[in-house]
Chains A and B, each alone.
Chain A
């Protein structure tokens, strides 16, 4: 894995119109995806993960959505001012995406073959026959045994796991550089979930496609990611190496998420969940956004909002004031926003 970034997001801010106001759903997010890397983004539902990923492909419904600020740099090229036509050449070709809902993400009225071949022929000059051959090859790549037969079937004839495999095949149709998977396993049961994750890891190795894996389950991240970003209420609250974060989480939110990972050995009877709810976007906030739910909350949390603080470990950053207590000083070692 090289450390060359293939995709950079800089200070992204996306808002949604609600009444006359624009309410931020993603509020100043910056991160990089390196070539060949699997990057995890975790956070509870509503923290802005899907908005981030859809914005990366310029697929935010607008109105009501609006990209207020930020740069998306793909392979060194700023995508800010490119035309819709150029976007179409990127979508599904250079950057592709799969979604949470395999049951509804395929068009019910067209055969699998039709939808797969459409994805292929859109970005190549393959004939129908060539596209058909490539489809079968793709279906085999994602581990579908009777590939030829499935081409003439309709989505409703297949299980959720099968459909997600087909979504992945479709996303991989043109060997994309980046695959964004937005909660690809959330709707699937545990065994199928493990299979799909293994498949993605396998594809990542075989094709060197960089993957952004979005999930609300740190367990999934632990399984296949190298780096992880923890999001809360439209902001990054912690990021770093997966091993570091799993072993030495700094943000109380990350610690809460870790506690709520389902225990595979089934020792715990009831799943832990962080008390309280994510604040609705647009609610006025002074101080740390997590303060209302934080077990460690102290004096300054309610008045000031913490910036991302660089920990000693390479690349580990936390948006929390706790380090000031530990070090007994108010000074940040380094600040990034």
Chain B
């Protein structure tokens, strides 16, 4: 069968192939892959592609300003929603008149609210998040290590959730109604309804206490602390070439990140399966199969890209939830993250810290939404920049 193929004119083809190659060497961007391919696409489309994407991004960023503004209002209102004198509440029942007066003055609570708000915004714009009542330190400096710890944990957890969740969903859709499908979806059902604190405790008991595979709590070996540069320990240890410490950091990450990954993983798996099943019924999948494409590529190229948009939405939402909702996990695993930081602040009624913490988490949530929206445009050429 194979010997029959006679293409129209092989010589013409090889000649024009040379021409194309020449063109390619002048524009080497055309044959790269991955992220560079997207970049190449912009370049190949001329300046128009770049500028329209840029203006779209800029427009989206500007559209966030009112949202962020609204968030500052809400966060500001938290302290002013307290009935009576907030300073009294902060200091508790047995506070002396002097200390109440001191805190009132320190927080500027004796001024009219709009002056206070203006002052608050003004400081925010200068990167000043206020001063912690408990430690007397500037919050914008204090909060960073905690934020970085949460960041690291969340990113690792989401990485696990996405890799396992998306693939489980894909394989379940591909071999739907197989034992793998039933088993994976049963696990996912258990996963979404799992109380995380219970799962965390069970993991600690099983893998840390009984088997001794992983440390129970913390981020690092306290007797050999990591020299922080970025406060992302995975990076810091590598930057310093401390592979032994890197291994320790990884070991500390395993249990909390898997505990944290459980719910998003289950949700992502279910979402991926549902959209993949839908996509795989479509006509262009039939076309891809009629070409003679192997099922692996039909699934991982043609189907997955079409299924990715709803999955992206879920991933964005879950990442946001993890960043803000890691308090339980961080408390159980003694993870010095933003959740713990806030938890302590609430115990001490450290209002400036609570305010700033909430503001930052909300801002990150909004930011992730923005990134997801920009990714849509990247994935789907039908989405217009001019929305």
Contact = CB atoms under 8 A, between A and B. Distances in A.
The reply to whether chain A is a binding partner of chain B is: yes
Interface in B288-332: 288-294, 302, 305-306
Contacts of A94: 1
A91 B283 contact: no
Nearest to B288: A107
Contacts of A108: 284, 306, 380-382
Interface in A85-119: 87-94, 96-97, 99, 101, 104-110, 118-119
- Size bracket of the B interface: 35 or more
A119 B302 CA distance: 13
Contacts of B7: 134, 175
Size band of the A side of the interface? 35 or more
Contacts of B21: 129
Contact of B306 (A91, A109, A119, A130): A109
A123 interface: yes
B97 interface: no
B380 A167 contact: no
A8 B31 CA distance: 43
Contact of B284 (A105, A122, A124, A174): A105
A107 B16 contact: no
A51 to B, nearest CB: 13
Interface string B260-280: 000000000000000000000
Contact of B305 (A57, A101, A109, A175): A109
A83 to B, nearest CB: 12
A304 interface: no
Nearest to B14: A130
Contact of B287 (A106, A109, A134): A106
Nearest to B280: A61
Given A75-B1, A152-B44, A154-B382, A127 B17 contact: yes
A92 B290 contact: yes
Interface in A123-153: 123-124, 127-130, 132-134, 136-137, 152
B13 interface: yes
Given A109-B305, A137-B8, A104 B292 contact: no
A133 B1 contact: no
A287 to B, nearest CB: 36
A170 interface: yes
A158 interface: no
Contacts of B64: none
Contacts of B1: 75, 89, 94
A58 to B, nearest CB: 10
B282 interface: yes
A106 B284 contact: yes
Nearest to A95: B290
A205 interface: no
B111 interface: no
A106 B288 CA distance: 9
B286 interface: yes
B124 interface: no
A133 B4 CA distance: 21
A156 interface: yes
Contacts of B287: 99, 105-107, 167, 170
B17 A133 contact: yes
Nearest to A58: B289
A75 B1 CA distance: 9
B17 A107 contact: no
Given A75-B1, A109-B305, A109-B306, A129 B291 contact: no
Interface in B147-202: none
A171 B306 CA distance: 22
A292 interface: no
A133 B286 CA distance: 26
A3 B284 CA distance: 35
B24 interface: yes
A198 interface: no
A167 B289 CA distance: 13
A91 B16 CA distance: 28
B20 interface: yes
Most chain A beta carbons < 10 A, residue from B6, B20, B287, B379: B287
Given A59-B286, A75-B1, A129-B24, A154 B381 contact: yes
B5 interface: yes
Given A107-B302, A109-B380, A152-B45, A91 B8 contact: no
A122 to B, nearest CB: 6
Contact of A130 (B17, B284, B380): B17
11 contacts: A59-B290, A88-B292, A89-B1, A91-B291, A104-B283, A105-B283, A129-B20, A129-B21, A136-B16, A152-B44, A177-B4
Given A99-B287, A130-B13, A154-B381, 14 more contacts: A59-B286, A88-B293, A94-B1, A99-B283, A104-B283, A105-B283, A105-B286, A106-B287, A107-B287, A108-B382, A110-B302, A124-B5, A175-B7, A177-B4
Interface of A: 57, 59, 75, 87-94, 96-97, 99, 101, 104-110, 118-119, 122-124, 127-130, 132-134, 136-137, 152, 154, 156, 167, 170, 174-175, 177
Closest 8 CB pairs of A and B: A92-B292, A91-B292, A92-B291, A107-B284, A104-B283, A129-B20, A133-B16, A154-B381
